[in-house]
Structure 1
Amino acid sequence: MARALPGLLRASEAAVAALEGVDQQQSMIARTHALLLTGKYLTQVRQYDMAYFALAESIRLARETGQTQLAATGVVGMGWLLLRQDRFEESEQLASQTAADIEPRISQATASEIAVWGELWLRVAAAARRNNRQDVADHARRMAATAGGALGREHAEFPAHWSAFGPVTAEAKAVEDLALIGDHRGVLRRADDGPLSPKAAKNLGRLSPNNWNRHRLDVASAYVSLGSHQDAMDELISLRETADVWLTHQPMARRVMADILRTRKRTLTADMRQLAAHLGIAG
């Protein structure tokens, strides 16, 4: 991705400069997608200043070309960036205002329109929860659940909608709230029940890989907090098998592993020592 993006950005910029009329309009939309992709990637690798520029420019271009849905998708990405920078109030206000601006008529809206609207409410909830605005967070979770219920199952339709969203995603994020307030038993109670249960996957669909991995880190954290070290290890080992590189970029994974090393009374297993070394944690 890092190797491909500079050429993609140069090419899209050159196309906008060289073309006219409808062709230029289409090239501007293509450049908007390239900038949005760049912003999301840079956020993932914690290059926040450059990510902010790319996302802001993608939102500007989307609005300039009348791509309301794409602009809202850019705001979803910007909300994530602001959240990772602990700029909770800005993230909440931006996502909330955009959700109000694009609020769909459920009976007439496309699935992608409902999904993006639901994702905006997820951003509001996450920011408000971390900013100790419980009432706002609860309202936002209800709105996200409404959007998920209207869809009926997980929805992903790139490029109209960049991330999967639906009732399972809304539930996973509600469980994340329980993790944030330290309700570890609540996390485990809901982690494999209801929309997140294996039985529900057939009717509701599955979480996106990224959301699933993040959810299972919450589960691992709950296990270690309750002293179930081997269950926590099972979660981490499973994540290493399916998302090795992703796992090494997750501070939560390192915190869980560090908690295991600090609180386990018996001798560490070989798996524990290997995973600790993989995550860069001294035993």
Structure 2
Amino acid sequence: MNTSIGDRVRALREFRDVTQDELARRSGVSVDTIRKLEQGVRESARINTLRGLARALDVQLERLVGQPTVTRRLADDGGLLALRDAIQDPGSLPGVPGEDDLEDPPGPAEWAQQVRASTATYWSGGYSELAATLPGLLRDGRAAARRHDSESVWTHLALAYQLAASLSTQSGHPDWAYTAVEKQLAAAARASDPLLEGMGVSTLSWVLLRQGRWEQARDIAERKADALEPPRRRATPDQLAVYGNLLIAAATPAARADHHDDAMRLLRLAESAAVQSGPVHAYGTVFSATDVRTQQVNVALAGTEGRPDAALTAAAAVDLGSISRPVHSASYRVDVAQARYQTGDNAGALELLLEVEADQPEWIRFQTGAAATVREMLEAERRRNSTLRGLASRLGVDPAL
């Protein structure tokens, strides 16, 4: 039986023995809104309201809104379960006998190329393809590390686990992602690369953010950024890129906790580093001034009281054509769509979401923010909009109106 958001709020609240008044105090959401949700008077709420409730109830946003944690295609193919088994491979634990390798592992050059190809697949939004190939990639990487034990092999194994953590988080499994990050950091240590470890901490911060552990997400990213802050006159582009990524990682949870001034301070530091470094492709990601500016849009929308006007102002400074990664472009446009909707531009929001769906039909099905915006739009529609309802259906959003 399908349950409403209000049913889930009530069940989680009662399970934790929390009153409506106490939940209101913890979440920053009014008692009236909580009461209307639980009584079914309201079918949904703004995304920032839902984030506040999820945080106060100590659950992932995906669970609160009832979004499936995997897409039907990936679940049917068994790809995600194979990914879980590859991440949590008992044979990779100390003292546990592993299976003998059935084939020779790839050589260092071939292994590095495989990781680069999988990274490109991730950033192009090809999650089904990646889910199918990543388990084998991890097994090949572990075998290559046993055979060759070089810093290059360990570096690319760390990046492979970074991909596993990212895909697990995107598909609603941050607990798998946490395990993947542990292995990412262990491989980075074997590679003797402090910057690679810094990217591991950046990934961990994102995983903690998706687990609702905002304070920890900010703290570890900010402390690692302080530890790796390069001397500006002698800084290399890679140093600036890792430092800037950590600052971005710290800014997002700061904004979620309504510390917007702190978040913008962190992003200004990141933008300064990006201007100095220029666009950098390193450690499985991209860092540029444009990427930082897209995060200013995201940060403006975060927290219990988002600022959509400020988000649209920040968006005016973003050159969409200079965003090099398709997934980055799609994520940014979903944020702009949310800002448009919250400022009353429903048609503009729907138009942009449909554009993103056309560009990234698989990626968008994983995005809780896109689904939440569509759910809000459904609740607010004054007359039946078949285009909106078609999009809702494809995203797995139950109108329940």
User: In the alignment, which residue of structure 1 is the partner of 2:225?
Assistant: 99
Partner of 2:102: none
Aligned to 1:246: 363
For structure 1, the 5+ residue unaligned runs are: none
Partner Cα separation in structure 1 for residue 145 and residue 314 of structure 2: 49
Q: Which runs of 4+ in 1 moved over 6 A?
A: none
Does residue 18 (structure 1) correspond to residue 139 (structure 2)? The answer is: no
5+ residue gaps, structure 2, are 1-129
Question: Which has the greater radius of gyration?
Answer: 2
CA contact (8 A) 1:145 1:170 kept: yes
* 1:221 maps onto 2:341 in alignment: no
1:122 and 1:141 in contact (8 A); partners too = yes
Match of 2:287 among 165, 170, 191: 165
Q: TM-score, normalised by structure 1?
A: 0.86
Structure 1 residues 134 and 206: alpha-carbon distance in aligned structure 2, compared to 1, 3 A threshold: closer
1:233 alignment partner AA:
L
Match of 2:207 in 1: 81
Equivalents in 2 of 1:172, 1:25: separation in Å?
A: 34
| Residues 232 and 134 of structure 1: CA distance in aligned 2, closer, same or farther (over 3 Å) | closer
CA deviation string 1:208-234 (max 9, x = no partner): 322222221122112222322211110
CA distance in structure 2 between the aligned counterparts of 1:8 and 1:281, rounded to whole angstroms = 33
- Alpha-carbon distance, 1:125 to partner: 0.9
What aligned pairs does 1:1-283 form with structure 2 within 5 A after superposition?
A: 1-19=130-148, 23-152=149-278, 155-157=279-281, 160-180=282-302, 181-191=305-315, 193-194=316-317, 196-197=318-319, 201=321, 205-206=322-323, 208-268=325-385, 270-283=386-399
**Range moving further from structure 2, 74-83 or 104-113:** 104-113
**Preserved CA contact (<8 Å) 2:165 2:178:** yes
Q: C-alpha separation between the residues in 2 aligned to 1:182 and 1:48?
A: 25
How far apart in 1 are the matches of 2:132 and 2:352?
A: 32
Code of the aligned partner of 2:313: R
Pair 1:41–1:118, CA change in 2 (3 A): same
What is the alpha-carbon distance in structure 1 between the residues aligned to residue 323 and residue 132 of structure 2?
A: 31
Q: Take 2:214 and 2:224, find their aligned partners in 1: how far apart are those partners?
A: 15
Percentage identity across aligned positions?
A: 27
Deviations 1:86-117 (A, max 9, x none): 11121112111211121112232222221111
State the one-letter code of the partner of 1:240. E
Q: Distance in 1 between matches of 2:168 and 2:397?
A: 25
TM-score normalised by length of structure 2: 0.62
Q: Bigger CA drift: 83-92 or 58-67?
A: 58-67
Q: Deviations over 1:64-98 (max 9, x none)?
A: 33111211111111111111111112111211121
CA pair 129-26 structure 1, distance change in 2 beyond 3 A: same
Distance 2:261 2:246 in 1: 17
Structure 1, 232-241 or 103-112: larger mean CA deviation = 103-112
Q: Is the 8 Å Cα contact of residues 168 and 207 (structure 1) preserved in structure 2? A: no
* Cα distance between partner residues in 2 of 1:186 and 1:136: 16
Deviation at 1:134, TM superposition (A): 4.2
Q: 1:161 to 1:281 in 2, by over 3 A?
A: same
- Paired residue type of 1:50: W
Preserved contact between residue 297 and residue 336 of structure 2 (Cα < 8 Å): no
The aligned amino acid for 2:240 is I
CA-CA distance at 1:246 after TM superposition: 1.0
Letter in 2 for 1:177: V
Distance 2:174 2:186 in 1: 18
Asked if the contact 1:169/1:207 (under 8 Å) is kept, the reply is: no
- After superposing the two structures, state which structure 1 stretch, 238-247 or 31-40, moved more: 31-40
Offset of residue 266 of structure 1: 3.0
Going from structure 1 to structure 2, the CA distance change for 1:189 and 1:35 (only over 3 Å counts) comes to closer
1:99 touches 1:121 (CA, 8 Å); kept in 2? Answer: yes
Query: Of the two structures, which has the highest relative contact order with CA contacts closer than 8 Å and spacing of 6 or more?
Result: 2
Preserved contact between residue 159 and residue 283 of structure 2 (Cα < 8 Å): no
Q: For residues 390 and 377 of structure 2, what CA distance do their matches in structure 1 show?
A: 13
> What SS is found at the alignment partner of 2:232?
coil
